[in-house]
Amino acid sequence: MRKVAILGIGQTKIGEHWEKSLREIGGDAAFAAMQDAGLEKVDALFVGNMLSPLVNGQNQLGTFFADWVGLWKQEAVKIEAACGSGAAAFRAALMAVASGDIESALVVGVEKMTDKAGRDVTAALATAADADYEVDQGISFVGINALVMRRYMHEFGWKHEDFAPFSINAHANAMHNPNARLHEKISVEKFERSSMVATPINLLDASPTGDGAAAMVIVPAERILRKPRILVSASAAATDTIAVHSRKDPLFLQAAYQSSKRAYEMAGVTPGDINVFELHDAFSIMAALSLEASGFAERGRGVRLALDNEISIQGRVPVCTRGGLKARGHPVGATGMYQLVEVVQQLRGECGPTQVDGAKIGMAQNIGGSGATILTHILRSES
């Protein structure tokens, strides 16, 4: 397998884009990535998306976007892995280029979630859970995470307010990201006063959805002349049971552990070598569980990292440096690509006030469902 590098990146601002269609949002990110790469054509297009059939009434997104961006006659396919669809599309493109089957690929993660009423989008999101044993019993996706968070607090003795630093950190970083949905700093007091969604998860524990797209162009590493060169050092994926209650330990993200372990081995690094970590903080509890399963904290101690300010830009494990899902926003099928684009921005030194000093190695972890599908990628900057 040959080395692969990222040639171009692009993204759109996350929000409620009533004036734009699904094809326009995805197209904007795709064109931006192609322009950044300095290319007019690629060999293949990979689209990450979860909800287009249910929310937008549109399937066959590979051809849909190939037609829109002018990649006629090229290979094009949609990849779906719930909220992990973006990273899954990137991994598929990566394997195609690394194998030598193609010389260039455009990857687009895209989601338009405002075309349906909130209840319909909630029902669509629930398709990431077990239809027979979770959804049909009346539990929502946020309800599943609330049960996990309640058990975590019981097992390890944390209070709800202890999770506040995850959200505070994300909102503080999003203030400097023009593409983030939420530009508002929050405090512990505001976090605690926030409206309850599904106890103990309140509004400021949860990430906002929205419309958005992020894209990348990848090519064999030897084709890139400009510096720094951003290499893909590792790509790994793993699964767990789709239903949380079927797991031996519902408080441990086994798929995060497996995928991060493989990624570390592939890249030849340890958690201590990671300069920036874009984790999947769909809910604050998932941030804590990801840190633990990925080797940055002991079991039940992920919250301590946040309380000790170790997840800040100046901390030991800078996370969600552009706002994370919590404040940048979570257009589900696009999220994995936003994470990867943001890691590239860090490794290029393009993050302004939220730039991690000397960042050379970055990791992105994208989660589908309640930890059922988890993909971990490690990128490296090479001068």
Region 260-271: mean pLDDT is 98
Strands lying side by side in the sheet with 75-79: 75-79, 44-48, 105-111, 212-220, 4-11, 229-239, 373-382, 361-368, 276-278
Residue 229: pLDDT over 90: yes
Predicted confidence band at 383 (pLDDT cuts at 50, 70, 90)?
Answer: confident
| 79, 90, 123, 365 from 131: Cα distances, Å | 20, 27, 11, 25
Q: What is the pLDDT of residues 327-348, one digit of tens each?
A: 999 999 999 999 999 999 999 9
Rounded Cα gap, residues 178 and 323, in angstroms? 10
Residue 280 annotated to the active site: no
In the set 83, 280, 320, 377, the catalytic residue is: 83
Q: What is the pLDDT of residues 273-307, one digit of tens each?
A: 999 999 999 999 999 999 999 999 999 999 999 99
Residue 118: pLDDT over 90: no
Residue type, 231: L
Region 252-263: mean pLDDT is 98
Q: What is the pLDDT of residues 50-98, one digit of tens each?
A: 999 999 999 999 999 999 999 999 999 999 999 999 999 999 999 999 9
Q: What is the pLDDT of residues 119-132, one digit of tens each?
A: 899 999 999 999 99
> What pLDDT is recorded for position 1?
85
Who wins on pLDDT, 141 or 187? 187
- Tokens (6 digits) for 108: 């687009």
Residue type, 220: P
- Tokens (6 digits) for 168: 């505070």
Residue 330 annotated to the active site: yes
Identify the helix (H) or strand (E) that includes residue 41. none
Give the percent of the chain with pLDDT over 70. Answer: 100
Per CATH, the number for 4-118+209-223 is: 3.40.47.10
Q: What is the pLDDT of residues 2-14, one digit of tens each?
A: 999 999 999 999 9
Q: What are phi and psi of 159, to 5 degrees?
A: -100, 160
Give this prediction's pTM. 0.97
In the set 171, 330, 351, 377, the catalytic residue is: 330
> What pLDDT is recorded for position 227?
84
